Amino acid sequence: MPAHDRPFSVDHDVEVPVPAPGELWTVGAVILNRDGEAFAQKRGPHRRLFPDTWDVVGGHVEAGESLLGALAREIEEETGWRLRRVRRFLGIATWHGDDGAGLRHEADYLVEVEGDLDRPALEWSKHSAYGWFGRGTLDRLKENRGPGEFLVHDLVARALRDRPQEH
């Protein structure tokens, strides 16, 4: 059984939107370390969408795939970590890629993962760097973005500000 098919828990108040037929959806995961910093990876300079910019873990939802199934798959593919718990729904963002494919809807979640957070297994063909970002280093997430293009920065800032307490 692929790791992204393994069970993970979903907190009782987590919203999971239902995509309408024909909509393009993506998912994003804000992953925090034990110091409360958020993980981000830098997209490679040759990527079609948003080259050389910081991004959270995530990607496109494939045909027939659930949003949370896509979330688990993308986390594993992009980091080698396994989704353990979906803590909170962070909202939906809509955006147009610079690839001409049209409007996308992105469901973002605050999650917990299993794995060595000091050693992500990045897809180095797609990403050039990674880092952990706290309140004092969030402005780095704005690198190579124009005014009004701070989706990742604002998402991480919101997740850090509204972080749920441990239970």
**Under a CB-based contact definition with an 8 Å cutoff, are residues 56 and 155 in contact?**
yes
Q: Contact 131/138 with Cβ under 8 angstroms?
A: no
Within a domain: 19: yes
Alpha-carbon gap, residue 8 to 15, rounded angstroms: 15
Q: What's the CATH code of the domain at 22?
A: 3.90.79.10
Q: Chain-wide mean pLDDT for the chain? A: 90
Asked, for residue 104, whether it belongs to a domain, the answer is yes
Taking only the tens place, the pLDDT of each residue in 50-88 is 899 999 999 999 999 999 999 999 999 999 999 999 999
